[in-house]
A and B are shown apart, each in its own frame.
Chain A
Amino acid sequence: MKKFLLKAALYFLILTVLIGGAIFVAKSRSPKDLFFISNSVTLNLKAGFVKRNFDKFKNSRIYVVGSSMSLNNVDAVMMQDSLQAPTMNLASWGLRLSNFKDAAFWRENKLLVYNTQYADFKPSDIELKDGYRFDVTRTAELINIFTDFRNYLSDQNFARRLVYHTTSREYDYCTFDACGSALLNDSGFIRKPQRWELDEFKNVQFDTSMLTKFVADIKTAVGPQPNNVKILLAFSPGRRVFYSEERSKILVKLADMLRQSCPNVIFLNAYDDNYPDELFVDNCHMNRKGAARFTRQIIDTIRARKIAY
């Protein structure tokens, strides 16, 4: 038995040294902003961003959350300057409000701004390793790397490309400004025709059950939280060519459902607003100018409704 245990221990020792070495080498080559908390590269980059600006994160009074609809369409710096309140954009590609249900910020009296569009009605494929908490430790990250090393390596490669090789003229642009937004360039943007012409409403094969699920997800995220947390849910406009009365009526219904299910959610429906094509980079993502106009609307709503933050 002793011989067996010694041999097994030696085997695991060698394996541990090799694995530890591999993690060390991989970690030292990682872009400094990457923090491995999920299967989403942009969320991992955002987690790294928050880690670097943790004091600002803790002191922020307004958080912008959600998917690329919030990341690209909401200018957090502008919001911070106009409202004179520390603001941080925590959004990343494909994220939903329901992904935030374990976030630490629910414990405090904050204002959440969540922008969405029809593209967000399809299910998210983001898997969070440790709940959506930006206060995860380095040890927790190392455990994540240890248990999912292959994805960590591919995540790194993707992150390197995003951080070092993309510009704000591309859809993949993911360099965050001082408050965490990633605003896309309004001149010389490299538009892809298939994204420009894509009708997201049809693409997600929208049906009313999605609406119910959407509200249920928001309720799941908001429901167990203290009532003093306020959520401004915005629905940003898309390219006018895809506008229709029918789609507008769906949002009226959404507003009704939210009023009944989630009383602490304030709904800003900007879908009917006519935004010209030059404010978009594709069917629903806006460029810097579009984001500025839309953010102005959000700021005006916060002021008009006297939402505390």
Chain B
Amino acid sequence: MLFNSYEFIIFLLIVFNLYWFVFNRNLKQQNLLILLSSYFFYGWWSWKFLILLAASTLLDYLYGFGVASENRRKSKFFLWLSVINNLGILGIFKYYDFFATQFQHGFDSIGIHFTPALLHIALPVGISFYTFHGMSYVFDIHRGVRKPVKSFFEYAVFVCFFPLLVAGPIERANHLLPQVQKKRNFNYQQALEGCRLILWGMFKKVVIADSLSTIVDGIVNQSPAHSAFSLIMAAIGFSFQIYGDFSGYTDIALGTAKLFGFELLSNFRFPYFSRDIAEFWRRWHISLSSWFRDYLYIPLGGSKNGKLTAIRNTFIIFLVSGFWHGANWNFIVWGGIHACGFLPLLLLNRNRKHVHEVVAADRKLPNLHELWQMLTTFVFVTFAWIFFRIHSLSDALAYIKRIFTDTIANPRQYLHVPDGVKVFYFIIPLIILDWYFRRDERNLRKLGWIINILLGVLIWVFFKKESSFIYFQF
């Protein structure tokens, strides 16, 4: 079931009413309702994969007790069992065909020919997200940060809570589980904020991202027929398409969770106002980058054991993060490009320069230096997105090559309006509104009735059936 569908509106209305009017006196019943609703929500795509979801949930729940054991060896054994189990699920469903094909190509190149059996299994929706939920729970128990939860239902709600089940944010047990275990009372302000977030998220997805998608797809799918200027427009368009799509999804997820009395982790904080790549990664898909930081970068030694270790670890997390997105070389290259962008900051000790304050926090507009920093970061990020958008490395390289060769061959094209200039119709309002909200996301309440109604009408006008979210494929 997609957030941007009529089915979801009906589903949400039913679950909301049951939750607050029928089961509101009993926490266990509320949790059970959430669990059943989440399974229904997930089963709407494929009921067969519910078995996988349930099995993965049950195993991590059981491993949690083993990992909590006083016996260190036993604890480690169960920790590794959980890692193998979760990565095994990912390996089979997401990466097996990729590795099998790579092995085949490798052996082909040395003259040994064989045809591996490929699984051709459709990737279960949200598999990368719920396996990471499970792993974070087990890791936290191992680190002594939390104790295993006794109730299976509570744990299952943590893993499967429907707003975050298919595309995050990737929650932490310490943040979400206490909310699952606590009696929840209806909070007017929280619910209202939830509705505003849902509306804003739908606007970003339906009006901005889906409209950009039509323009971008038209150019990228026929890239050899378009001018360099148009290809640049499409690349810029995609940067905002994926932002509108994913942050829109996250806003709807956060808003929906608020309607049920939950606060989820923030996933985006105006990433395109970042002044360098390090800041970008503190503002883009925050729940994933912090997951990798806490469970991979720091256990590997982080930046404590000298520069070389820090460089190695930086490359590892960026490459793994790229690979997490999909079993394809283009995602690995995308991660590698970001690692390369991060490297100079790391070497110059400037990677923690912009940790807290958003740009121009005390002013209405940025100064020229900040503007330049934001622009260069955006250009870098947009360049990397080309590899993310185009799933074949050779096609992505051909796309970039065409930008340069066509610019050299026909520099006068930049004096004319290119195809795809319409991307700015959708980008400019988003930038203006994001800039307005950048100090505090809760400023959404300042939008007022007229703007909220206008957003509602625009969502209705631009609504398109069967428009999935980009991150569902991961």
* Closest CB in chain B relative to A11 CB, distance in Å: 7
On chain A, the residues within 8 Å of B192 by CB distance are: 4, 7
Interface size for chain A: under 10, 10 to 19, 20 to 34, or 35 or more residues?
Answer: 10 to 19
Q: Which stretch, A142-150, A167-175, A196-204, A290-298, touches the partner chain B? A: A142-150
In the assembled complex, A18 has its CB within 8 A of some CB on chain B: yes
On chain A, the residues within 8 Å of B186 by CB distance are: 1, 4
In the assembled complex, B195 has its CB within 8 A of some CB on chain A: yes
In the assembled complex, B224 has its CB within 8 A of some CB on chain A: no
For B461, give its contact among A4, A8, A14, A149 (CB under 8 Å): A149
Residue-wise interface mask of A (3-16) relative to B, using a CB-CB cutoff of 8 A (1 in contact, 0 not): 11001100100110
List residues of B (429-458) whose CB comes within 8 Å of A's CBs.
Answer: 449, 452-453, 456-457
Inter-subunit contact A148/B465 (CB<8 Å): yes
List residues of B (245-296) whose CB comes within 8 Å of A's CBs.
Answer: none
In the assembled complex, B103 has its CB within 8 A of some CB on chain A: no
In the assembled complex, B77 has its CB within 8 A of some CB on chain A: no
Q: Which partner residue on chain B sits nearest A8 by CB separation?
A: B195
Q: How far is the CA of A15 from the CA of B199 in the complex (A)?
A: 13
Known contacts A4-B192, A147-B6, A19 near B20 by CB under 8 Å = no
Q: Which partner residue on chain A sits nearest B21 by CB separation?
A: A1
Inter-subunit contact A18/B453 (CB<8 Å): yes
In the assembled complex, B463 has its CB within 8 A of some CB on chain A: yes
* Closest CB in chain B relative to A145 CB, distance in Å: 11
Inter-subunit contact A3/B188 (CB<8 Å): yes
On chain B, the residues within 8 Å of A19 by CB distance are: 457, 460
Known contacts A1-B186, A4-B191, A147 near B463 by CB under 8 Å = yes
Q: How far is the CA of A296 from the CA of B454 in the complex (A)?
A: 58
On chain B, the residues within 8 Å of A14 by CB distance are: 453
DSSP class of B's interface residues: helix, strand, loop or mixed? Answer: helix
Q: How far is the CA of A1 from the CA of B188 in the complex (A)?
A: 6
In the assembled complex, B462 has its CB within 8 A of some CB on chain A: yes
Q: Which partner residue on chain A sits nearest B188 by CB separation?
A: A4
Inter-subunit contact A15/B20 (CB<8 Å): no
* Closest CB in chain B relative to A3 CB, distance in Å: 6
Q: How far is the CA of A142 from the CA of B461 in the complex (A)?
A: 14
Inter-subunit contact B461/A150 (CB<8 Å): yes
Q: How far is the CA of A36 from the CA of B435 in the complex (A)?
A: 41
Inter-subunit contact A1/B460 (CB<8 Å): no
Inter-subunit contact A149/B460 (CB<8 Å): yes
Q: Which partner residue on chain A sits nearest B190 by CB separation?
A: A4
List residues of A (224-248) whose CB comes within 8 Å of B's CBs.
Answer: none
For A15, give its contact among B453, B462, B463 (CB under 8 Å): B453
Q: How far is the CA of A7 from the CA of B191 in the complex (A)?
A: 11
List residues of B (454-474) whose CB comes within 8 Å of A's CBs.
Answer: 456-457, 460-465
Q: How far is the CA of A150 from the CA of B452 in the complex (A)?
A: 20
Q: How far is the CA of A147 from the CA of B6 in the complex (A)?
A: 9
On chain A, the residues within 8 Å of B453 by CB distance are: 11, 14-15, 18
* Closest CB in chain B relative to A143 CB, distance in Å: 10
* Closest CB in chain B relative to A37 CB, distance in Å: 15
On chain B, the residues within 8 Å of A4 by CB distance are: 186, 188, 191-192
Q: Which residues of B contact A (CB under 8 A)?
A: 6, 20, 186, 188, 191-192, 195, 449, 452-453, 456-457, 460-465
29 CB-based A-B contacts, threshold 8 Å: A1-B20, A1-B186, A3-B188, A4-B186, A4-B188, A4-B191, A11-B449, A11-B453, A11-B456, A14-B453, A15-B456, A15-B457, A15-B460, A18-B453, A19-B457, A19-B460, A22-B457, A147-B6, A147-B463, A147-B465, A148-B463, A148-B465, A149-B460, A149-B461, A149-B463, A150-B461, A150-B462, A150-B463, A150-B464
Q: Which residues of A contact B (CB under 8 A)?
A: 1, 3-4, 7-8, 11, 14-15, 18-19, 22, 147-150
